[in-house]
């Protein structure tokens, strides 16, 4: 029954496309025992989603959590980049996002950036500036057009709605959005989708290219973490979503949580034979 419900949910999410037809992925649940110890090692609860585009198959670890909504945190920099380009706030990825002169805790943020460099260092002030220029109405329009979760976008929170408050996206919704971006099926110009895909490149290894974005929010004393993206390999492309959470540790003591978002992902991708 649980998988049947998930199947219907996946059918809806993965068919949210501007095309007349869309695939219905085959669904399978990863054995809990296979990865429970990996998440326990980092003292987090989590879920993992792996979608094989070529086989049109979807594998889930902890399906219940895959249906839950969480703050998107800095994973929203993916659609935010595309929206900034599509709305004309940026005319190209080479445009300069000027530093406002306010000192931030991250030294890498205290300078002018291109879209690519802002994405690479996850420059929060840069993307807050872009969001303010996009504005509430256009941001709402594009978030809905892209079927990107349920975002609580208002004038007063236009530069924080993805970091705090009531905005939510599920891991399943993240995967559906990433699939459409990879296939360039979002309702945006192809050149802008290509530009965003290019700035997401994180790593090239033997026989693979890794694209993605991390995210980290801390609502109500909790850590919520993400690592989302896809891997291009000789055998095909795999969309992945890793979502983790635990109780927030004292300031300066969350290093293990910070590391686990990518570490768990890379270990699962290795065990599943993706990389």
User: Contact at 8 Å (CB) between 252 and 246?
Assistant: no
For the chain, domain boundaries: 2-271
CATH ID of 2-271, from 3.10.100.10, 3.40.50.720, 3.40.50.450, 3.40.710.10: 3.40.710.10
pLDDT digits (tens, 9 = 90+) for 196-210: 999 999 999 999 999
Catalytic residue among 15, 74, 92, 117: 74
pLDDT of residue 16: 52
pLDDT of residue 2: 53
Name residues of the chain where pLDDT drops below 70.
1-24
State yes or no: is 74 an active-site residue: yes
pLDDT digits (tens, 9 = 90+) for 61-90: 999 999 999 999 999 999 999 999 999 999
pTM for this structure?
0.92
Count CA atoms closer than 13 A to 274's CA, side-chain side.
Answer: 24
Q: What angle is formed at CA 134 by the lines to CA 133 and CA 140, rounded to 5 degrees?
A: 145
pLDDT of residue 32: 79
């Amino acid at each position: 029954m649980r998988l049947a419900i998930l199947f219907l949910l996946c059918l809806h999410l993965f068919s949210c496309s501007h095309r007349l037809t869309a695939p219905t992925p085959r669904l399978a649940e990863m054995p809990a025992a296979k990865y429970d110890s990996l998440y326990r090692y980092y003292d987090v609860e989590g879920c993992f989603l792996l979608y094989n585009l070529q086989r049109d198959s979807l594998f889930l670890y902890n399906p219940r959590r895959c249906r839950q909504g969480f703050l998107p945190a800095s994973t929203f920099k993916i659609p935010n980049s595309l929206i900034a380009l599509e709305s004309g706030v940026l005319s190209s990825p080479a445009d300069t996002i000027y530093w406002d002169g306010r000192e931030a805790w991250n030294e890498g943020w205290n300078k002018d950036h291109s879209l690519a460099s802002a994405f690479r260092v996850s420059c929060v002030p840069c993307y807050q500036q872009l969001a303010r220029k996009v504005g509430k109405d256009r941001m709402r329009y594009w978030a809905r057009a892209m079927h990107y979760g349920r975002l609580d976008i208002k004038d007063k929170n236009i530069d924080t709605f993805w970091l705090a408050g009531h905005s939510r996206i599920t891991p399943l919704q993240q995967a559906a959005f990433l699939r459409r971006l990879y296939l360039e099926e979002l309702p945006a110009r192809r050149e802008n989708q290509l530009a965003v895909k290019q700035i997401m490149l994180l790593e090239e290894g033997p026989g693979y290219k890794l694209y993605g974005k991390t995210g980290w929010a801390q609502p109500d004393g909790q850590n919520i973490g993400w690592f989302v993206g896809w891997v291009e390999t000789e055998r095909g492309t795999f969309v992945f979503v890793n979502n983790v959470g635990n109780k927030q540790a004292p300031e300066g003591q969350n290093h293990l949580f910070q590391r686990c978002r990518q570490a768990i992902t890379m270990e699962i991708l290795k065990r599943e034979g993706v990389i």
